[in-house]
Amino acid sequence: MIKRLLYHLYTKRLLAEVRQGIMPRHIGLILDGNRRYASGLGREPSFGHELGADKLQEVLGWCADLDIRMATVWVLSTENLSRPEGELRGLLEVIERKILQMVQDPRVHRRRVRIRAVGQLDLLPESTRQVIARAEEATQAYDAFALNIAVGYGGRQEIVDAVKSLLRAEANQGASLEEIIGGLAPDEISKYLYTQGLPDPDLIIRTSGEVRLSGFLLWQSAYSEFYFCDAFWPAFRKIDFLRAIRSFQQRERRYGR
């Protein structure tokens, strides 16, 4: 009882402190640790994925409360697609079910959340692609909050695909190889990323104690701030989230200077 009261008081104080600072416009979230959390409880990986999906809805609510307008969440990497068939199918079913729940959730529509998927969607099963298409269509007119779901996503492959698309587009316009090389610039490549048109993330949070990006938004994170949390994703608490925001607010962003 006392521990719960102290947690409540500390969260309240931390929230008041964070509200005084500048909020990140765009947060990236690497949702890591679902399987290890489930294993620690003696449960199957699917149990961890279910809890992780529920946690995401909670964290999106925290973003809305702080008027953070965009989040990109990494739910499935291209490497994840090589997991054992049973586990992969279970994970995809959780993803499909959670996306459908969001489409049917009144809070998503009340908050005007636009849902968009980024990644190699052609690698996903037809059922997953259909659910994604339904969510994107149902929320395409919303503009208050942007939820980008990185699914079937790999950062290196994104850059390769962007360069391929740029070369193809220039060649279709009749440009020579020398003309293409002469006009090649970072801003031009950015136009062909999966996330084209979206601002780069200000802050990237990774859970589970791993201190690396593992390929998440490699191009877009050049000037992002990073926060690594020891908690597994299903156990990620509001104070962990607020500490990440406070850490971001305490840093001086130099943008390479």
Catalytic residue positions?
32, 80
What Cα–Cα distance (Å) separates residue 201 from each residue in 20, 23, 110, 170, 221? 21, 12, 24, 28, 6
* 227 DSSP β-pair partners: 205
Cα separation, 245 vs 20, in Å, equals 11
Question: What is the residue type of 253?
Answer: R
CA distance 221 to 36: 26
The answer for residues whose C-beta is within 8 angstroms of residue 109's C-beta and 6 or more apart is 139, 142
DSSP 23-76: PPSEEEEE---HHHHHHHTT--HHHHHHHHHHHHHHHHHHHHHTT--EEEEEEE
State phi, psi for 148 to the nearest 5 degrees: -100, 120
Q: Which residue has the tokens 């990323």?
A: 193
